[in-house]
Structure 1
Amino acid sequence: MFSRYVDVLSNLPQYSKNIFRHNYFSWLISQCRGWGRFSYGLLLFNLVLQIISLVQSFNVAPIQSIISFIGGNLSVACVIGISNRSGIQGWAGALSAICIASVGFTAGNYATACEQLGYLLFLDLFCILDPKWNDNIQAEKFDRAIEWLYYALFFVAAWAVFYYLFNLTNDPRVFLDSLNLAMAVTGSLLELNRKREQYFVWTISSLFTIALWTQTMLQGDGNFSLIFSYGVFFLNDMYAFFSTRGWFRTSRAK
């Protein structure tokens, strides 16, 4: 995976032509075609939930509600795009990351905001520059059971560091917020090493993120939008786990 980063950065002028090529927007639209019924169903289901959240919270915080609405829809489009190996994931991920980071900073969830900016810089932008970024990725299982221990220790160490750092801020939910960032970094490390076990980390991460934004909403700093979107992520993960054509039978990124 690191070789892909080196290749893109070393040939940036060439890869930038992928964005400015003829019929680029038509190509992006075509990337939303041919998905399975479940994927389209999740998109529609999430859209309905996001509209409910927008109507419910608009009078209280209109700007934040609109940003959350956009981020909630685009983040689901990104994850479903990843599941379908679609080039739309780059732009959907980048724009949703900006929206969610903005909401995170406003709510005081600084670790989650940094997580989204990390996705933007180290994944979404590269997916935009290289439309084949996720092509031909073959995920592998752990070779030894002790690898679970290595990554578990990495997670604990990362959580301790993030908890200490963000505890120096006025983050009102530093426990869950730093935990989510540690989960994301651990999942990203597994992804870079192309390990199939990253699936479990992303699935568990969805649950903890739902808990974070639920607590955020209950404390008056958020709404249902991101709770809904991460709930849809979890449903997508469950489908990937049980489906014979799903991610766990092949691979998943982000």
Structure 2
Amino acid sequence: MFNRYVDVLSNLPEYSKNVFRSNYFSWLLNQCKGWGKFSYGLLFFNFILQVFSLIQSFQVAPLQSILSFIGGNLSVACVIGISNRSGIQGWAGALSAICIASVGFMAGNFATAWEQIGYLLFLDIFCILDPKWNDNIQAEKFENAREWIYYISFFAVAWGIIYYIFSMTSDPRVFLDSLNLAMAITGSLLELNRKREQYFVWTISSVFTIALWIQTMLQGDGNFALIFSYGVFFLNDMYAFFSSRGWFKTTI
């Protein structure tokens, strides 16, 4: 399960050469080429929405607005990069995680902030060091109903523990906030085990994250930026479910 982590950490000097090379930035730029029209359309659509959010909220909370704008754009670039198996996903994910975590701490969504830090430490950094991190991955279906029970039970226990921990903080939205972190941990476990059913978790997670940031905005602690970006995630999920090249018609 953790072989890729062990490999990168054991050979860190060698993997660091993937970053410290003369043509690295031109290589990164080329990673943004050759995507499908739908991917570029989502990027542009999200950018327009993010500009609207920035204009709408800048005078009230300039720093949070700028961080949300950057995080909202880069997080969508990361997800679309993953869909296109692009090496840009590492940097886009890392920078967006820093921005969204900062916004999460400012808004009091502490569980969501730590979720982003987890992505940064255990996914984005490794994707940067190893551009082929997601290559040659074959997704597997659950073999029986017991696997559903196992992961649902894991989610329930994780949510209970996370809710208890963050209920001792000043988190004003601990129900949805802890729910999102528990779903992220469950989805990550499914991803580590290369289970195709992870995509149900990520799609449902997008819906609850949208609900969290809507509640955050209504309570005066946020803006439209992350609502828009997670809405785009959901559109991307729907495309992946139902397109001819989607998750359930091909392997990943």
TM range (shorter): over 0.9
After superposition, residues 5-16 of structure 1 pair within 5 angstroms as 5-16=5-16
Kept after mapping to 2: 8 A contact 1:83/1:247: no
SS in 2 for 1:134: coil
Match of 1:156 in 2: 156
SS in 2 for 1:132: coil
| 1:22 to 2:34 alignment | no
Match of 1:219 in 2: 219
| 1:3 to 2:3 alignment | yes
Question: TM-score scaled by structure 1?
Answer: 0.98
How far 1:247 moved relative to its partner? Answer: 3.1
How large is the Cα RMSD of the aligned pairs?
A: 0.8
Question: Counterparts of 1:248 and 1:233 in 2: how far apart (Å)?
Answer: 17
Question: Counterparts of 2:249 and 2:152 in 1: how far apart (Å)?
Answer: 23
Question: Counterparts of 1:217 and 1:250 in 2: how far apart (Å)?
Answer: 38
SS in 1 for 2:144: coil
SS in 1 for 2:19: helix
> 1:102/1:113 Cα in 2 relative to 1: closer, same or farther (>3 Å)?
same
Question: Counterparts of 1:250 and 1:181 in 2: how far apart (Å)?
Answer: 28
| 1:173 to 2:181 alignment | no
> 1:2/1:66 Cα in 2 relative to 1: closer, same or farther (>3 Å)?
same
Question: TM-score scaled by structure 2?
Answer: 0.99
Kept after mapping to 2: 8 A contact 1:139/1:250: no
SS in 1 for 2:194: coil
Q: Which runs of 5+ in 2 are unaligned?
A: none
Q: Which runs of 5+ in 1 are unaligned?
A: none
Between 243-252 and 216-225, the greater mean CA deviation after superposition:
243-252
After superposition, residues 12-91 of structure 1 pair within 5 angstroms as 12-91=12-91
| 1:204 to 2:204 alignment | yes
Question: Counterparts of 2:110 and 2:142 in 1: how far apart (Å)?
Answer: 32
How far 1:251 moved relative to its partner? Answer: 5.1
Question: Counterparts of 1:95 and 1:31 in 2: how far apart (Å)?
Answer: 17
Superposed CA offset, 1:9-40 (max 9, x none): 00000000100112100000000000000000
Question: Counterparts of 1:153 and 1:216 in 2: how far apart (Å)?
Answer: 28
How far 1:191 moved relative to its partner? Answer: 0.2
Q: Could you tell me the percent identity over the aligned residues?
A: 82
After superposing on structure 2, the runs of 4+ consecutive aligned residues of structure 1 that deviate more than 6 Å are none
Q: Which amino acid aligns with 1:107?
A: A
How far 1:164 moved relative to its partner? Answer: 0.1
Between 238-247 and 118-127, the greater mean CA deviation after superposition:
238-247
